[in-house]
Amino acid sequence: MEESAASGIFAKIFNTSMSIQHLSEQEIIRRQKLAELRRLGIDAYPAPLYPVNTTSAFIRENYKGEENKDQFADVCVAGRILSVRDMGKANFAVIQDAAGKIQLYIKQDDICPGEDKSMYQAVWKKLIDIGDIIGVKGYVFTTKTGETSIHVKEFTLLSKSLRPLPIVKEKDGEAFDEVTDPEFRYRQRYADLIVNPGVKETFIKRTKMINAIRNFLNERGALEVDTPVLQIIPGGAAARPFTTHHNALDTPMYMRIANELYLKRLIVGGFEWVYEFSRNFRNEGMDRTHNPEFTVLEFYVAYKDYEWMMETTEQLLEKAAVATNGSSKVMAGEKEIDFKAPYPRVTMYDSITEFTGFDISEMDETAIRLVCKKLSLHVDANWGKGKLIDEIFSSRCEANYIQPTFITDYPIEMSPLTKKHRSKPGLVERFELMCNGKEIANAYSELNDPLEQRERFEEQARLMERGDDEAMFIDHDFLRALEYGMPPTSGIGFGIDRIAMLLTNQHSIQDVLFFPMMRPENFE
């Protein structure tokens, strides 16, 4: 290729929206290498079909040396280069595929069997980098040091890496210089997954957990459904919604804060057990247990109550824990938590009495506000009785429940969608499941009286007029559905991300979300 043509290739590679002055020295060198590969006629990004026939994990787990070497005489794997050791006329390299890592042995006489070794010298010595993705064909053998490796007979560059990876140092197979910067890890999850293999295991466990829950429900006859994410009225929870606008209808719309009211519409329609893993959106702050976009499992079952739901919840979570970790016991930091059923049950008023010394069960809003003052709690003047009680419980009681515990029988003011307690005036048949100091599930015997539901919605509207921006809207269509008649029903919502944190021993919700919410980057 003529020099002017080579210069043209180089210029084209750098003619991108990212100017050369924004590139690091390593990034510039890698772009130069890409230009040289193209000058040599090597496609650094070939067609995607590559005949992989095994994985690193399968080789490591099943290769037995002389005993079954014929089974591994013609293997083809692909992966990302993590390290290269130059041995002169040969190289050792380590690649990582989806299943793990394996060592390669690359000899120049195998790659270039003729007299001309220039291609080997040019590519392996000068143009291949850590981070590049390659495919190799060869046979499996054991090195003198006892390491299962692939003797490469043919290799193909499948993708040239233009950005260097953060280097993780290892000794005796253990990482001792892991990439731990949260800003980097959460913002560039793709790189985090490459250099921190334990991160991938967390998300594999999350998938196992969700599959176990789904199987539990399906085996019992529940029907998985989908409900709208864009809603005209954000219902089913007390939360501040994200707002948007539908241009064709010229109407404001809201991102879903909960799927409860739509699932209960399906119960009205005749389905007896429905569930949905839903992505919900709440325009709220972010901390280690809150992300504005999160996953919830909700299910609703006709002809059941909250007592039945507590028993079902225990069984479901025990199965999920065992499926994820092989045991009902999990570690949360230094604490061991056991999800084996049954779980203790404590009423909300009893919990508040135990941890504050105040029995608020017979108090009105004014008296409860005074208790908040005595407890040095900052409360808003616009809050009603329900929000005040919630603040007392969340700030003084919640953190004390490490083992799974059902908090039951909530005040009616805290639960506008819940059926009144059948034997305790002023309370509703509701529970929240606490674990490791946080709520992970919320359940009711559902309110199915349309006239009482309308009164509860109207009370929420009055709270909204007082300035409570988390109060519920009145959903007139849902009220119309209830007027057709909804059977006695029990429903529950699980915080899937929080349960994933518990079952994978992660301390932040950001560590169980592939792409948590982050402040926008400035790429200029």
Q: Is the per-residue pLDDT at 177 higher than 80?
A: no
At 405 the three-state DSSP class reads strand
Residue 2 has pLDDT above 70, yes or no: no
- Same domain for 446 and 317: yes
In the chain, the amino acid numbered 104 is L
**Would you say residue 176 has pLDDT above 60?**
no
- Residue that wins the pLDDT comparison between 461 and 489: 489
Residues 34 and 52 in one domain: no
Q: What is the pLDDT of residues 104-118, one digit of tens each?
A: 999 988 888 877 777
Mean pLDDT in the chain?
A: 91
Mark whether 243 and 308 lie in a shared domain: yes
pLDDT category of residue 313 using cuts at 50, 70 and 90: very high
Helix boundaries (H) for 326-423:
348-356, 365-374, 385-396
Q: At a CB cut-off of 8 Å and minimum separation 6, what does 109 contact?
A: 89, 117
Q: How far apart are CA 46 and CA 159, in angstroms?
A: 8
Q: Is 254 in the same domain as 339?
A: yes
d(CA 303, CA 489): 5
Are residues 226 and 124 part of one domain?
A: no
**Residue of 252, 222, 293, 280 lying closest to 490 (CA atoms):** 222
pLDDT digits (tens, 9 = 90+) for 130-149: 999 999 999 999 999 999 99
Task: Report the alpha-carbon distance of residue 4 to residue 50 in Å, rounded.
Answer: 33
pLDDT tens figures, 331-361: 999 999 999 999 999 999 999 999 999 999 9
Confidence of residue 469 (pLDDT cuts 50, 70, 90): confident
For residues 280 and 294, the answer to whether their CB atoms sit within 8 Å is yes
- The answer on 160 and 242 residing in a single domain is no
29 with 120, same domain: the answer is no
Structure tokens at 175: 């990482």
For the entire predicted model, the pTM comes to: 0.88
The pLDDT tens digits for 55-80 are 999 999 999 999 999 999 999 999 99
Q: How far apart, in whole angstroms, are the C-alpha atoms of residue 505 and residue 461? A: 41
Instruction: Give the CATH number for residue 432.
Output: 3.30.930.10
- Least confident range from 92-106, 314-328, 392-406, 457-471: namely 457-471
Please state which of the ranges 46-50, 138-142, 262-266, 299-303 shows the lowest mean pLDDT. 46-50
Which residue did the predictor score with more confidence, 167 or 406?
Answer: 406
Residues 480 and 462 in one domain: yes
* Lowest-pLDDT range of 24-28, 170-174, 236-240, 316-320: 170-174
Quote the percentage of the chain above a pLDDT of 70: 94
The stretch 200-207 carries a mean pLDDT of 96
Say whether both 313 and 458 belong to one domain: yes
The order of strands in the sheet holding 243-246 is: 230-231, 251-255, 243-246
Please state the φ and ψ torsions of residue 360, each to the nearest 5 degrees.
-100, 10
Using alpha carbons, list the distances in angstroms from residue 279 to 19, 282, 390, 503: 38, 10, 25, 20
| pLDDT > 90? residue 175 | no
Instruction: Please state the φ and ψ torsions of residue 484, each to the nearest 5 degrees.
Output: -75, -20
Residue 519 belongs to some domain of the structure? no
Residues 282 and 262 in one domain: yes
254 strand-pairing partners = 231, 243
Structural domains in the chain (count): 3
